[in-house]
Structure 1
Amino acid sequence: MSDRVSAAADTVTTPTRVASAVRVPLWLVLVMVVTAYGAGASLAFLGFGAPAIVVLFLPAGVTLSALVLNPRRRWPWILAAVAATEIIVDVSHGMSLRWSAGFALANTAEPLVGALLLRRYRPAEVDLRRRRDLVVFLGCCVAAGPLVGAAIGGTLLSASLAVPWPQSFVSFWAGDATGVLTVAGAVLAWRYSPDTGSGTVRWTVSIGAAATATVIGFWPHDVPLFYLPIPVLFALAFSQSLVVTLTAGIAMMVAANLMTSTGHGPWAALDTSAQMITMSLQLFLATTILGAWALVVGVTERDRARRDTSVERAARLRLHALQVLTTDLATAVTSEEIAEAVVRQGIGLIADHGSVALLAPDSADIMLWTSPDRPDDLTFHYQRLPTDTATPHHDVIRTGRRLLHQTQADAMADYPHLVDVYQALDVHSSMCVPIPGDDTGPLGSLAFSFHRDHAADADVLAFAEALASLTGQALDRARVYEREHDATQRLQQALLPDLGSRRDGIQIHADYRPADVAHQVGGDWYDAFAVPQGRIGFAVGDVVGHQLAAAAAMARLQSALRILAQTAPDPARVLDDLSRASALIPDATTATVGYADYDPTTRVLRYACAGHLPPLLVTRDGATYLWDGRSLPLGVGKPTRRHGRVVVPDDAVLVWFTDGLVERVGEHLGENMQRLADAAGSLPDPDAARLCRHILSRMVGDRPLADDTVILCVQFTGAPSGG
């Protein structure tokens, strides 16, 4: 397998921190910080606020976001770069070096305090779409950090410009707080949120709409239109991601401050101090942005709650379906039944379609079952794939490791000869997991295909492996059953006699039908053999149960009956002796047996039934049940056994059977026995083989049987040769 496939598989089960997903070199971080900080600081000097007091200090957000997004070992370098940039910008605008150094201290202490507090209360990554994370961010970074900076910077402003300290303190805090709120909020939202893939056109339109609404709203003095950016920002909060909304908020705040500083808008027309104008303006803008931000959080939490509810409901439905499948797997007795249950009920729980592959028991080939929704020309319901075929199933079974392709290109690169299949089925991602078995290795594999890329996430993979584990447990049970079934089938075939086509005076034909395709063996049996004085004995029996125990009991009863028939004077005595012998044979108690002997010379048929259904004698005049010679099953009580006696005409046929031929759930036994007599009597001039096939066709057909069935047809052809 390619390294790409293994790496893709690892990413499914190994969660990655978003913050560490991209490693940016330190020099590049410093370049970006210096560039953004210098541009923001110069912009503050050139356009914002009153001539002597800087308000809306955007670089405060640049420094804070740089600290939050980088490990602590980089913080000294970042803070040093910020301090140097602050001094250079301040000195270039005519400020003395002494005061520039003081403002550099204020603008490095502030983000340091904010970042430390944020890491203290939210050591994990911050998701600003969550209410708790937003509150921590506002408290630590927007409120506490700027308060520290304002304590230092306000003091410097008051001392250098002779401005009252309270006004200097509030102005410094407001400018830095709004800068952190907008810039750091947008950067962190872009960095930590998974929804950063908004298109460039959408982003540009959103920013342009916010800036345009702000310019239009802040242009006139006497017409109150300053509220126009509010519905625009709130509409973005409803329809766009947080990063788009906050970026539009930055555009609104910059445009509002520029318009006010150039004498436009209602704040420029206020007859009050410059400090009060800028303070009230920042309060209005910050409140608007916070309102939109809170709206984004509310919408996100609502969508998350709906998504969680949907996921929980889907999980419940999936769990219920898995429970149903588990029940079906528990009742399935063959590997084929298990594979069919998985492709019918299991694959569709997580995938669009898929397949099950099992190792063939007699070779290294695999047998394949596919989900029923595949096109007819691509469906291989029960196909044997040779070992030299290169497929995901073969590779997974050989290596015992899962295989994952998150895109169609990945799958085609590894299996170019399956390109037509992937395209025809619209497979964009797929995975194949081994079915665990015993120490010999996987028993097979499960393949899952999806119509979208990257569909196999950690939850899907976990469910697939759980399904494979359940399948493996069911297959282990089935393999035990199949080994036993194979052994008992061979035993059954070995024990049932080879009747041949003709004996002196009679022609015999028999058939054995299992209860269903899973039970090829059981306790029903038949026999025909020679007994002293030229007679022919034949028997039909039924031992309760299936599988090895019933077959073993049947074999012992059959052998005992043959031995006892050699010395017993009549069928009644044979069954009486066999009943006593059954006490020594495990699982033979309550077995039913019908035994008869026939003398071809005298054409006398003697018969007796120990709990067994009566035989049916078919002659030219019709079909008649022989009800004489009946007694209790073997080992039950101490009955007095008798036998019946009848002289059979030429070409008469005796039909003897077990109860599986006439017993049906919900049907009357007497009616079915009459159906059997009518079916047997309706065939003109029957021979043993034709009559046997005719009866089975009329009474059984192709439907599965609830019990094993034996039918023995004995045709009396006349006196023996030379007789």
Structure 2
Amino acid sequence: MTGGVTGRAAGQRDGPGAVRGWPTWRVVAAVAVGYAFGAWLAFVAFGATAIVVLFLPAGVTLGALVRTPRRQWPWILATVVVVEIAVDVWQGQSLRFVWGFAVANAAEPLVGALLLRHFVPGDVDLLRRRDLFAFLGCCVVAGPLVGGVCGATTISLGLGRSWLEAFLPFWAGDATGVLTVGGCVLAWRHRPPASIAASTRWALALALTMGVTAIGFWPAHLPLFYLPIPVLLGLAFSQRLAVPLTCGLAMTVTANVLTSAGHGPWSAFEGPIALKTATLQLFLAVAILGAWFLAVGVAERDAARSATRTERAARQRLHALQLLTTRLATAATSQAIAEAVVRDSVALFADRATLGVVSPERDEVVIWTVVGRPPELVDAGRQVALDEVRPLTYAARTGQRVVHQSVNELAVDYPQMAQAYRTSGVSSGLCLPVADADGPPLGALAIAFAADDAVDADTIAVAETVARLAGQALQRAQRHERELDAAHQLQRALLPVLAGGRSGIRVTADYRPADRTHDVGGDWYDVFPLPGDRIGLAVGDVVGHDLTAAAAMARVQSALRILAQTNDGPAQVLQELDRVSALITNSFMTTVGYADYDPATRVLRYACAGHLPPLLITADGVMYLWSGRSMPIGVHGRPRQQAEQRIPAGAALIWYTDGLVERHDTPLQDNLDRLATVAAELVGHDPDDLCQAILQHMAGGDVLRDDTIVLCIHFAPEPRAAVATPSQLAAGDRHSSPPAPL
């Protein structure tokens, strides 16, 4: 009675583990064949005459009743009665008494099944102690007692035997049949192993058990009958319950056949046949129950370990989710969020993880994945078209979940991806949209597993949590990035556009914004014409990293330009800027380096209000202009100071903001010395590339924590007549290419 299950009739209570999908005729046919074969064994193979020693059909009937809905019971019991009468008549029993055997073999399983359903209303699991004891008490003890009473009474009346002498073997034979066959029927709640390897192991276990039992029950005077017990115990310890119970049935049949044939210690037993048959069945039952209880203990141990692993995994998963939540809360960019999600998703539950973020134009998906994936799955440039046919882009495009439990299942919808998945060792996977509550998906999360059928309800639930957290973080980060982009564009727009080439003087500048984890800054520079054919040069830094700082920077820059037109000398310009700054919000403590240069005299007048000193590069070497220093703007104290420096022909002046030389892990003076060394090595460098060369040497690929400006003024060796006029300078200020940031 193994195989599929049949559906429940409406309003009818099915038995535990009811066989679904089996029509009544199939159940009746299976019961008839199994019952007839077991009865034939009892009368022929076991050598029984008037007293049946081992009656396997009792287990067949009990298993059929327990595994089928009640509407089929009348057909099962009627089949049992017909087959029992037919076999008894075939064996020469009188028609006057076969009805008693038929009643006994119909009442016995009916009582056992009714009692079992009463105490175990749900599915019977013989690895649960409660269900096991209910099965033993109801089906192995109580039911066979009823059958034993009816059968012993029939034997006593029909054959003139002692009632007690008939009862004991009748009950023992039926109880052993229910224990072995009924136990196997309930243990095989699912179909037998379908794989060749599992079926081979099962067949080898049966062959081993039968062979060892034959060895143990062959000699009559050599006590080897205990040899099958270690085999059953070993199977109980290493295999699922159905295997040792099936082998126990094989041991029982083999032992009874050999005993009936005159082999083994029970064949030489001198005593009443009732005691002989009862003790044999008792020994076999005890051996099977010993293996059974060991299997229950092993199952309970494994269940406890599994519960512990599950609990530990749940705690680790919760901790990992908490860490992911913390990281996402502090991650300010899409890249930082993607890297955290990919890294922590693998730690949570997956063998591989990928996060795709939809571009602002919604035409591409930027891919972040774990290290070590093959090129077919990483994608060159980490970008794929949103309309490309693959699970991740489908989830990002449609907002629908994609699940595949094997590569073959994936190949049905995405054949072009199947080979790449096989190469990478991926079998099952899940793609979820990273949702935006206010619009289309922001991307998709893909997790993959090396094993088939690894995507279960728990995995989906955790993945949905991760996707939801990622969506919230990405929504926040992208809003912040849009604000930063707007702020940086504003800051760039406020910076002057420098002429790429002038006669007598060449000015270049480079601006590198800080990384996306920091807001826009207040760094600025300016170059403009002054009365008297002079040129004004300015570099400054407003305190702050937000749009307010950028707005203050624009006002300070404009104010300095205006003040420089009417005040003579940098010191006076900075003093007036002190007064004006009181009217400019958030301009307090602004640092400014300002100079004016007269091309006719080659004299540079300069002053630094809290700003870092400019670096002069000449053919003789480099030097910082440390003179003309005073406090930042808005800090009142001593009058502003200025200094003068005659500029040699062909010299260059480097002015910069603090982002170029300030590092948290290095003293400022060390970085100033490094800048001087770098500048000395760049003497004679192309003036147009000087700023970028300095930035590359000082910062390289490092992540800058502050905006950085480098302003380079190259003083050409041409005579006065070749120097650019202020009108030329003014005309060139707004018509050349803007400085290209790195």
Same fold (TM over 0.5): yes
Aligned partner of 1:663 in structure 2 is: 662
- Give, in whole Å, the separation in 1 of the partners of 2:534 and 2:275: 128
Aligned partner of 1:571 in structure 2 is: 570
SS at 2:176 equivalent: helix
Report the CA distance between 1:287 and its aligned residue: 0.5
Aligned partner of 1:702 in structure 2 is: 701
* CA pair 262-687 structure 1, distance change in 2 beyond 3 A: closer
* CA pair 183-21 structure 1, distance change in 2 beyond 3 A: closer
Taking the TM superposition and a 5 Å limit, the aligned residue runs for 1:308-347 are: 308-309=307-308, 323-347=322-346
Contact 2:16 2:117 in 1 (8 A): no
* CA pair 578-121 structure 1, distance change in 2 beyond 3 A: farther
Aligned partner of 1:33 in structure 2 is: 31
Report the CA distance between 1:284 and its aligned residue: 0.5
* CA pair 649-210 structure 1, distance change in 2 beyond 3 A: closer
Report the CA distance between 1:529 and its aligned residue: 2.4
Contact 1:146 1:176 in 2 (8 A): yes
What is the TM-score of this pair, normalised by structure 1?
Answer: 0.87
Aligned partner of 1:263 in structure 2 is: 262
After superposition, what is the alpha-carbon deviation per residue over 1:307-326, rounded to whole angstroms, capped at 9, x for unaligned? 55555555555555555555
Aligned partner of 1:459 in structure 2 is: 458
Mapped pair 1:184 → 2:179? no
The more displaced of 42-51 and 524-533 is 42-51
* CA pair 149-410 structure 1, distance change in 2 beyond 3 A: same
**Unmatched 5+ stretches in structure 1:** 1-16
Taking the TM superposition and a 5 Å limit, the aligned residue runs for 1:255-294 are: 255-294=254-293
The more displaced of 61-70 and 107-116 is 107-116
* CA pair 485-215 structure 1, distance change in 2 beyond 3 A: same
* CA pair 639-114 structure 1, distance change in 2 beyond 3 A: farther
* CA pair 620-256 structure 1, distance change in 2 beyond 3 A: closer
SS at 2:593 equivalent: strand
- Give, in whole Å, the separation in 1 of the partners of 2:662 and 2:682: 22
Taking the TM superposition and a 5 Å limit, the aligned residue runs for 1:1-400 are: 19=17, 23-48=21-46, 51-95=49-93, 99-192=97-190, 199-309=198-308, 323-347=322-346, 350-353=349-352, 355-376=354-375, 379-400=378-399
Report the CA distance between 1:281 and its aligned residue: 0.8
SS at 1:245 equivalent: helix
Report the CA distance between 1:553 and its aligned residue: 3.2
Q: Which amino acid aligns with 2:413?
A: D
Report the CA distance between 1:494 and its aligned residue: 0.9
Q: Please, what is the CA RMSD of the aligned residues?
A: 3.4
* CA pair 575-80 structure 1, distance change in 2 beyond 3 A: farther
SS at 2:332 equivalent: coil
Aligned partner of 1:480 in structure 2 is: 479
After superposition, what is the alpha-carbon deviation per residue over 1:477-529, rounded to whole angstroms, capped at 9, x for unaligned? 22112211221222122111102235686432211122336669422211222
- Give, in whole Å, the separation in 2 of the partners of 1:524 and 1:451: 52
Report the CA distance between 1:143 and its aligned residue: 2.7
Contact 1:355 1:368 in 2 (8 A): yes
- Give, in whole Å, the separation in 2 of the partners of 1:389 and 1:18: 50
Aligned partner of 1:557 in structure 2 is: 556
Report the CA distance between 1:163 and its aligned residue: 4.6
SS at 1:597 equivalent: strand
Contact 1:484 1:548 in 2 (8 A): no
- Give, in whole Å, the separation in 2 of the partners of 1:207 and 1:402: 46
SS at 2:266 equivalent: coil
Contact 1:604 1:645 in 2 (8 A): no
SS at 2:110 equivalent: helix
SS at 1:267 equivalent: helix
SS at 1:356 equivalent: strand
- Give, in whole Å, the separation in 1 of the partners of 2:583 and 2:123: 77
Aligned partner of 1:8 in structure 2 is: none
Q: Which amino acid aligns with 2:672?
A: M
Report the CA distance between 1:159 and its aligned residue: 4.5
SS at 1:453 equivalent: coil
Aligned partner of 2:8 in structure 1 is: none
Aligned partner of 1:3 in structure 2 is: none
* CA pair 439-161 structure 1, distance change in 2 beyond 3 A: farther
Report the CA distance between 1:289 and its aligned residue: 0.8
After superposition, what is the alpha-carbon deviation per residue over 1:231-287, rounded to whole angstroms, capped at 9, x for unaligned? 333333344332222112112112222222333322222222111111111110100
Mapped pair 1:643 → 2:607? no
After superposition, what is the alpha-carbon deviation per residue over 1:639-675, rounded to whole angstroms, capped at 9, x for unaligned? 3341313042243433221111111222221222223
- Give, in whole Å, the separation in 1 of the partners of 2:155 and 2:653: 122
SS at 2:268 equivalent: coil
Contact 1:338 1:471 in 2 (8 A): yes
* CA pair 196-532 structure 1, distance change in 2 beyond 3 A: same
Taking the TM superposition and a 5 Å limit, the aligned residue runs for 1:403-422 are: 403-422=402-421
SS at 2:223 equivalent: coil
Report the CA distance between 1:633 and its aligned residue: 2.9
The more displaced of 27-36 and 427-436 is 427-436
- Give, in whole Å, the separation in 2 of the partners of 1:567 and 1:321: 64
Report the CA distance between 1:19 and its aligned residue: 4.6
Contact 2:269 2:276 in 1 (8 A): yes
Contact 2:387 2:397 in 1 (8 A): no
SS at 2:691 equivalent: helix
The more displaced of 20-29 and 395-404 is 20-29
Contact 2:500 2:688 in 1 (8 A): no
Aligned partner of 1:528 in structure 2 is: 527
After superposition, what is the alpha-carbon deviation per residue over 1:74-99, rounded to whole angstroms, capped at 9, x for unaligned? 33433343344334434544555664
Report the CA distance between 1:711 and its aligned residue: 1.5
* CA pair 679-423 structure 1, distance change in 2 beyond 3 A: closer
Report the CA distance between 1:182 and its aligned residue: 0.5
Q: Which amino acid aligns with 2:364?
A: D
- Give, in whole Å, the separation in 2 of the partners of 1:196 and 1:149: 37
SS at 1:115 equivalent: helix
The more displaced of 650-659 and 154-163 is 154-163
SS at 1:441 equivalent: strand
* CA pair 386-678 structure 1, distance change in 2 beyond 3 A: closer
Contact 1:18 1:192 in 2 (8 A): no
Contact 1:342 1:356 in 2 (8 A): yes
Report the CA distance between 1:290 and its aligned residue: 1.0
- Give, in whole Å, the separation in 2 of the partners of 1:383 and 1:192: 47
- Give, in whole Å, the separation in 1 of the partners of 2:589 and 2:690: 30
Q: Which amino acid aligns with 1:288?
A: A
* CA pair 560-148 structure 1, distance change in 2 beyond 3 A: farther
- Give, in whole Å, the separation in 1 of the partners of 2:625 and 2:18: 90
* CA pair 384-213 structure 1, distance change in 2 beyond 3 A: closer
* CA pair 586-305 structure 1, distance change in 2 beyond 3 A: farther
SS at 2:220 equivalent: coil
SS at 2:608 equivalent: strand
Contact 1:543 1:554 in 2 (8 A): yes
* CA pair 31-167 structure 1, distance change in 2 beyond 3 A: same
- Give, in whole Å, the separation in 2 of the partners of 1:20 and 1:442: 46
The more displaced of 648-657 and 471-480 is 648-657
Q: Which amino acid aligns with 1:285?
A: L
SS at 1:401 equivalent: coil
* CA pair 618-183 structure 1, distance change in 2 beyond 3 A: same
* CA pair 580-273 structure 1, distance change in 2 beyond 3 A: farther
* CA pair 214-603 structure 1, distance change in 2 beyond 3 A: closer
